[in-house]
Amino acid sequence: MRRPVARSLAVLAASAAMVSVGAAAPPSAGAAEKVPVAVGYGGAVASVDADASAAGIEVLKNGGNAVDAAVATAAALGVTEPYSAGVGGGGYFVYYDAKSRKVHTVDGRETAPLTADENLFVEDGKPVPFADAVTSGLGVGTPGTPATWQEALDSWGSKPLGSLLKPAERLARNGFTVDATFRSQTESNQARFADFPDTADLFLPGGALPVVGSTFKNPDLARTYRELGRRGVDAMYHGELGRDIVDTVNDPPVDPASGRVARPGELTLKDLAAYEAKRQAPTKTSYRGLKVYSIAPSSSGGTTVGEALNILERTDLSRASEVRYLHRFIEASRIAFADRGRWVGDPAFEDVPAKELLSQRYADSRACLIKDTAVLTSPLAPGDPRHPAACNTAGTAAPTTYEGENTTHLTAADKWGNVVAYTLTIEQTGGSGITVPGRGFLLNNELTDFSFTPASPGVHDPNLPGPGKRPRSSIAPTIVLDRHDRPVVALGSPGGATIITTVLQTLTGFVDRGLPLVDVIAAPRASQRNQTTTELEPGLWNSPLRARLESLGHGFRQNPEIGAATGVQRLPDGKWLAAAERVRRGGGSAMVVRPGR
């Protein structure tokens, strides 16, 4: 019989507490040190960056709640993780309210210009080369991050935006210490950054890469935060900051001598004025007696993770061998991605059958495709969630399109029991590569998440561009509650389309395999996205498990790093555990307000 969930969670809590004995106290901002796990009272924050986590802890110590801390942490990530997040991008915010025991979400995804149509990325009858679309004004969507912050604060926050931006403003003005990850990410963008004078001046001063151990300052961003703090987000959506963004998108400030053709966009002040961060209901899935909440479309994260969990529900993964566990996880991911590609898009434009995709009846009709002695062929055709047919493989497959991988995720909790899981992004590492002159932040390239042309000829593609449409995302910030609607764990990850598989593997490793949160975050990952081969991190690539899975018919390719998760877990006696990566992205930063056993 399967181990009872309540007992499993008790074991997990005890294991996590033992792992975390001796966790360091949260260092102060400016002298923050990375540790991957911390346990204590008063609230918790986990992110990829120590300075950002410290900003959130500072807010919690000063009486702020989890929403306040999440906004402060996100703003600080815009300073220290400028190639992954910032006010020039967007994201998805999931919030658990401890008083009502309800989960709420905000869709802060970027939108296409109101002039866009399905041929946004088509020239002379052919799709624009992907790299050209990325580094252009054409790929820039209307930013949603400031509106997301304000919507969350208006709905559930306790402090004004201006006060919450102060730690990030201070960090941008005084600087942070350059690490190897920041230098490496700059180096991978060096050629295109050099073609935009404002980007080069900020990130390649004097034409050189930043030196590890040096201090990186961004006074322009400090001034931008100060302006947002004083004037509110109207500075972007109805003010001078917005005008600067529109001018930059429509006339990218490229160095004429570079020879780079940076296509202009068609963003207008009307697009900014019309933008709304959308409050909407979360997705909800039952798994092993727990309630799993995530973000609904326009992101595919909640529906795809939820469908895969439903497919796995009938398998006792707690007693499965490592090979059977990985095989089932890979096949469930393959099937869920096949359905995602056909059915999920922006529900303001598309008839998305989210309820049906998340039904156990539909999952069972798809789960019967999985055999323990054979591997499904990719790309696999989608099913029809409105008319489930058992083990059906008829139809036309839609291959998974590419999404940029360097998003960032944070999780936060407070002393009252409120929890936030928030993933924000500018899409590609370095976004569009275009810095808004005098403003200190990069613009996103989120519109390249659209399908440039239909993924399957002759089959409706729900992810084609449209006026004001949100491109499909894979972001999956997730909050898990027990049967009494109390938080168990919250987590999420960056990684483009690998976000879905990272969240799924982390959840099943935590719930089914009984791993402590910090260990399941560190465990080597696999990612199958309805493709001919499955990606493996080195820990699995170099493992005997690979050969055993290959004997079943699996094919693999190596990926050096998949995702960079963070999470928080509710422990007994009001304690919180915060967990982050040990190694990926240079290691993450977990902090609590008051450390203690």
Residue 327 lies in a domain: no
Confidence of residue 269 (pLDDT cuts 50, 70, 90): very high
CA 254 to chain centre: 29
Q: What is the pLDDT of residues 359-390, one digit of tens each?
A: 999 999 999 999 999 999 999 999 999 999 99
| Over residues 439-449, mean pLDDT | 98
| Over residues 582-593, mean pLDDT | 96
CA distance 146 to 90: 8
User: Comparing 30 with 115, which gets the higher pLDDT?
Assistant: 115
Predicted confidence at residue 8, as pLDDT, reads 45
State the first-to-last Cα distance of the chain, in angstroms, to the nearest integer: 33
In the DSSP assignment, the letter for residue 558 is E
Longest dimension (CA), the chain: 69
Residue 367 lies in a domain: no
Q: What is the pLDDT of residues 76-101, one digit of tens each?
A: 999 999 999 999 999 999 999 999 99
Q: What is the pLDDT of residues 308-346, one digit of tens each?
A: 999 999 999 999 999 999 999 999 999 999 999 999 999
Note whether 97 and 369 are within 8 A (CB): no
CA distance 491 to 568: 7
Q: What angle do CA 354, 357, 369 make, to 5 degrees?
A: 165
Predicted confidence at residue 458, as pLDDT, reads 82
CA distance 589 to 37: 7
Residue 391 lies in a domain: no
CA distance 224 to 178: 21
CA distance 481 to 488: 5
CA distance 78 to 222: 11
Task: Kindly report the number of other CB atoms within 10 A of residue 230's CB atom.
Answer: 11
Predicted confidence at residue 400, as pLDDT, reads 74
The dihedral over CA atoms of 570, 571, 575, 577, expressed in degrees to the nearest 10, equals: -70
Which CA distances in Å does 539 have to 448, 503, 523? 31, 18, 8
Within 83-144, where are the H helices?
130-134
CA distance 219 to 501: 38
Predicted confidence at residue 10, as pLDDT, reads 42
**Chain-wide mean pLDDT for the chain?**
93
Angle of helix 66-80 relative to helix 219-231, nearest 10 degrees, comes to: 150
Note whether 201 and 191 are within 8 A (CB): no
Predicted confidence at residue 366, as pLDDT, reads 97
Q: Which helix (H) or strand (E) holds 95?
A: strand 90-97
Q: Are strands 290-294 and 283-287 parallel, antiparallel or unpaired?
A: antiparallel
Confidence of residue 12 (pLDDT cuts 50, 70, 90): very low
Residue 328 lies in a domain: no
Within 33-88, where are the H helices?
50-61, 66-80
Residue 565 lies in a domain: yes
Confidence of residue 29 (pLDDT cuts 50, 70, 90): very low
Q: Quick check: helix, strand or coil at residue 126?
A: strand
Predicted confidence at residue 317, as pLDDT, reads 98
Q: Which helix (H) or strand (E) holds 425?
A: strand 419-425
Task: Kindly report the number of other CB atoms within 10 A of residue 188's CB atom.
Answer: 14
Q: What is the pLDDT of residues 102-117, one digit of tens each?
A: 999 999 999 999 999 9
CA distance 419 to 492: 13
Confidence of residue 394 (pLDDT cuts 50, 70, 90): confident
Residue 109, domain CATH:
3.60.20.40
What pTM does this model have?
0.94
Residue 59 corresponds to which amino acid?
V
Range of the domain at 427: 5-124+131-280+402-476+489-595
Residues for the chain: how many in total?
597
Which CA distances in Å does 315 have to 107, 288, 325, 377, 425? 33, 11, 9, 21, 34
31 has pLDDT over 90: no
Structure tokens at 185: 């990410």
Q: Which helix (H) or strand (E) holds 166?
A: helix 166-174
Note whether 192 and 133 are within 8 A (CB): no
Residue 339 lies in a domain: no
Active-site annotation holder among 315, 407, 498, 566: 407
Residue 338 lies in a domain: no
Q: What is the pLDDT of residues 486-537, one digit of tens each?
A: 999 999 999 999 999 999 999 999 999 999 999 999 999 999 999 999 999 9
Percent of the chain with pLDDT over 90: 90
Q: Is 532 a catalytic residue?
A: no
Confidence of residue 174 (pLDDT cuts 50, 70, 90): very high
Predicted confidence at residue 311, as pLDDT, reads 98
3-state SS of 332-401?
HHHHHHHHHHHHCCCCCCCCCCHHHHCCHHHHHHHHCCCCCCCCCCCCCCCCCCCCCCCCCCCCCCCCCC
Number of separate domains in the chain: 1
Residue 307 lies in a domain: no
| Over residues 254-282, mean pLDDT | 97
Percent of the chain with pLDDT over 70: 94
| Over residues 24-44, mean pLDDT | 72
